Homo-oligomer: A and B are copies of this chain.
Amino acid sequence: MVRWQPGTRERLQGTALQLFSEHGYDETTVAEIAAAADVTERTFFRHFADKREVLFAGQDDFLGMFSAPVEDAPAGTPPFELVRRALDAAAAFFPDDRRAWSRTRQRVIDAVPALGERELGKLANLKVHLGATLRTHGVAEPAATIAAETAVTVFHLSFARWIAEDEDRDFGTIVHERLDALAEVVHPGR
């Protein structure tokens, strides 16, 4: 009989991350993750297509987090304001109590090149998705693509800063610092 219970997915993620962190990603098998989480391998594969996806689950939520504020904004909202709203929504997705998990996840990813490339692919996918959302919302090209790329770049840099060991400011503060830096680079002294 297949066990199914609320929280199994999250427990598998937590267990897997701990094993990856302690023993190495390549050295950890799905069988070990399932055993440590007290489920069958079959249950594991009901939640994740493979071992790698434990670290990259929730892609739809991730995309929606950025695009929902754009879809909800009044027509005619300037592109940079749409970017700001998307990033504020993303910041809410990364509260301080998630920081320790994110730091550990990043260390696991940084240790395995194929995982780093998968992470870059995830961000590339987000750029495409957000660009399409901006176009649907009336932003013309090439501004829509530029705005989407800029938003994801600021997100990525803010995330990297947020999980730095010497950082304790919240995600939103770090995002705004980077948006301000971008404005200063593009239009100095304004």
Binding site for B on A (CB under 8 A): 78-80, 83, 113, 116-118, 120-121, 124, 142-143, 145-147, 149-150, 153-154, 156-157, 161, 177-178, 181-188, 190
Can you name the residue of chain B whose Cβ is closest to the Cβ of A121?
A: B117
As for how many copies of this chain the complex holds, the number is 2
Interchain CB contact under 8 A, A146 and B178: yes
Residue in A124, A161, A177 with the greatest tally of chain B CB atoms within 10 Å: A124
Most chain B CB within a 10 A radius of its CB, from A113, A117, A183: A117
- Whose C-beta in chain B lies nearest to the C-beta of A123? B120
Q: Could you tell me the distance in whole angstroms from the C-beta of A2 to the nearest C-beta in chain B? A: 32
Q: In the bound complex, do residue A149 and residue B143 qualify as a contact, i.e. CB atoms below 8 Å apart?
A: no
Q: Quick one: which of A120, A154, A161, A190 has the most chain B CB within 10 A?
A: A120
Task: Give chain B nearest CB distance to A153 CB in angstroms.
Answer: 5
Question: 5 shortest A-B CB distances, which residue pairs?
Answer: A117-B117, A120-B120, A186-B186, A149-B153, A142-B181
Which residues in B have their C-beta under 8 angstroms from that of A146? 153-154, 157, 178, 181-182, 185
Q: Which residues of B contact A83 (CB under 8 A)?
A: 185
Q: Across the two chains, which residue of chain B brings its CB closest to A142? A: B181
The answer to whether B157 and A142 touch across the interface, beta carbons within 8 angstroms, is yes
| C-alpha gap A175/B78 in the complex (Å) | 22
The answer to whether A185 and B150 touch (CB under 8 A), given A142-B178, A145-B157, A157-B145, is yes
Name which of A124, A154, A183, A185 has the most chain B CB atoms within 10 A of its CB: A185
